[in-house]
Structure 1
Amino acid sequence: MTPGAPVVFCGYANLDVVGRVPRFPAPDERVHATAIDQLPGGMGANAAVACARAGATTAFAGVVGTDPASDLFLAQLAFEGVDAGWTDRTGYLSTAIVLVDGAGRRSVVSQDDALDAEHVARTADRLAGLGGGLLYLDGYRAAQLPAAARPGVVLTVDLDGCENPDVARAALAAADHAVVGRTRLTELLGLTPADRGPRTTLVVTDGPAGWQLAGPDGIASGAALSVEVVDDTGAGDCFVGTHLAGLAAGLGPVEAATRAGVAASLSCTQEGARAAPSPARVTEALHQLATA
């Protein structure tokens, strides 16, 4: 893959209704929110913003509508330097209900969107026609990953949202790069890094415990930064977007994951799902770690 190749994110676009609460409510309990906000979100769109902030040529190929909320959503992506011209506007902007508790942990209820297999295929064709690049699919589209293979297209998948072990296993076999949380991989899907394909580089994230990478060149790991967590919403999306930006720039998978881990940690120190830090801040944090 040529350094500087575009990264196209084919995944969720959401309007996040975020309630900040002292604790998550129990059944039949009413908890008063300290704040309720409406913010742009969606794991694919969040990752695209992180990728663009990390300096990569980035496009978002989701599905939204023609309403004012969709107009604003796309304008916010464009403001971040994301090419939203790949987005299909024949659907609707889905909604996610996000609760963030006093410890910065989040719980999400998401609405299904209108992004289907045909849209994934059109996006893969378009990217191949431009000479290739990285194509990201979120876990809700993991079943479409094998069919998205095209000459010059580097397949990447974030398995967050994938609940079917067989679908996940097929996606891992087809992907060039994959990211997944450890709890989802081992407990929800019942898989291990050994289930990746022989050419797949798999990064398993584990929150404050850091990350582990398994690929054709061996195994590596990295630690997360020790930070005061304000809000961990979107930290995984920040990791993925920063990681793919590094790969697109020509970094090796380990170096890309190292920067992504630091970026994800820093994002937890700010509110909201789009708190990805600048490349300069990531570099500064890495330098401080190296000289500590």
Structure 2
Amino acid sequence: MSAETDADVLVIGSLNTDLVIRAPRHPLPGETLHASAVSTLPGGKGANQALAAARAGARTAMIGAVGTDENAQVALSLLRESGVDLRGVDALEGPTGLAVVTVSDDAENSILVVSGANAEVGADRVRAHAEQIAAAPVVVLQGEIPREGIEEAARHCTGRLILNLAPVIAVDPAVILAADPLVVNEHEAALVLEQLTTGQDAPAEEPRRLVQRLRAAGVRSVVLTLGAEGSLLSEGEPGVLVAVPAAPIDAVDTTGAGDAFTGALAAGLAAGQGLREAARRASRFAAFSAQRLGAQSSYSRSGDELPALPGPAEG
């Protein structure tokens, strides 16, 4: 990716190939089950979010790495098709990241990830793109590349930093405090809170309290995702929380729905929307994806088809 890129959203993160297995339920330890279907699809939290941002209307670029195996073409296929700038994605000798996803009949998923080339997206590789990072209006980070790469990206970011610390890994607290917003689910919120409170275990708390404690710890803004219950937002005055509903749908597969939300949120913020407005459209984008199998393959290609949220009509 050249220094002259005009991307609205720059995603720095993972690219995987997803091996998606459909089964009646998740197997118990030592148990063998018959699966009903298997698919090989593009994935990775970084790539998912980049595709979602692009399909939500943002000019999008990505920094990351794939391997030199046949899975690399799978991992890049929909990003290329959707016009994501991939000049910052390096091809490294070795395997592309791989995720094995089991989806049960009740739409819940379990995921095992082998990092592959994603493990090489450290400080040096990220630093090579310092000018592009500094020029990006919105930078999006997740937890599927090494800590050093995340911290290096945050150091060069001069725009708005969206941190979806998933999975939760230990990072410099300054990165978390720079997030605007920090996007996490309940489990992730508790783990991030432990990092900001000198490593003390965070007690189980209801969602509103988790958001309030993250803000009290110094996080600029927070979006706490709650699945079928929508999300909670907090920005500005720490004590003020806003609830954003989820669209009422019949979920088929929740794989990648959180990434759909984060990518669409980034697109909305890059377009100048406020956090609440951006989160409402992101909620609709995520709901659409949960009605279809797979992650990237389930993302909307047209805002006209998004399900409506309860309450006032969407504009």
* Counterpart check, 1:205 vs 2:228: no
- Report the Cα offset of residue 168 of structure 1: 7.4
- Report the Cα offset of residue 162 of structure 1: 1.1
Report the TM-score when normalising by structure 2.
0.82
Q: 252, 271, 281: which is aligned to 1:230?
A: 252
**Corresponding residue for residue 285 of structure 1:** 308
* Counterpart check, 1:219 vs 2:222: no
**Secondary structure at 1:59's aligned position in 2?**
strand
Distance 1:177 1:138 in 2: 12
Q: Deviations over 1:110-149 (max 9, x none)?
A: 0123221222333343232xx3321111123484445423
The code of the aligned residue for 2:90 comes to D
**Corresponding residue for residue 207 of structure 2:** none
Q: Deviations over 1:134-182 (max 9, x none)?
A: 1111123484445423363322211110144xx3744321222220011
**Secondary structure at 2:312's aligned position in 1?**
helix
Q: 96, 100, 103: which is aligned to 1:97?
A: 100
Distance 2:104 2:77 in 1: 29
Q: How does 1:103-252 map to 2 (within 5 A)?
A: 103-112=106-115, 113=118, 114-128=120-134, 131-141=135-145, 143-144=147-148, 145-147=150-152, 148-150=154-156, 152-164=158-170, 167=171, 169-186=173-190, 190=194, 192-193=210-211, 194-196=213-215, 198=218, 200-217=220-237, 218-252=240-274
**Corresponding residue for residue 60 of structure 2:** 58
- When structure 1 is superposed on structure 2, of 75-84 and 239-248 the one drifting more is 75-84
**Secondary structure at 2:128's aligned position in 1?**
helix
Report the TM-score when normalising by structure 1.
0.88
Contact kept, 8 Å, 2:168 with 2:192, in 1: the verdict is no
CA RMSD of aligned residues (A): 2.4
Q: How does 1:251-262 map to 2 (within 5 A)?
A: 251-262=273-284
- When structure 1 is superposed on structure 2, of 233-242 and 133-142 the one drifting more is 133-142
Structure 2: segments with no counterpart, 5+ residues: 1-5, 195-201, 203-209
Contact kept, 8 Å, 2:100 with 2:113, in 1: the verdict is yes
- Report the Cα offset of residue 71 of structure 1: 3.1
Distance 2:57 2:274 in 1: 16
**Secondary structure at 2:156's aligned position in 1?**
coil
Structure 1: segments with no counterpart, 5+ residues: none
**Corresponding residue for residue 43 of structure 2:** 41
Distance 2:129 2:276 in 1: 28
Distance 1:127 1:54, change over 3 A: same
Contact kept, 8 Å, 1:198 with 1:216, in 2: the verdict is no
Aligned residues: 283
The code of the aligned residue for 2:214 comes to D
**Secondary structure at 2:84's aligned position in 1?**
coil
Distance 1:211 1:122 in 2: 36
Q: 279, 282, 287: which is aligned to 1:265?
A: 287
Distance 1:27 1:186, change over 3 A: same
Contact kept, 8 Å, 2:252 with 2:291, in 1: the verdict is yes
Distance 1:258 1:185 in 2: 20
Contact kept, 8 Å, 1:199 with 1:215, in 2: the verdict is no
**Secondary structure at 1:270's aligned position in 2?**
coil
The code of the aligned residue for 1:261 comes to S
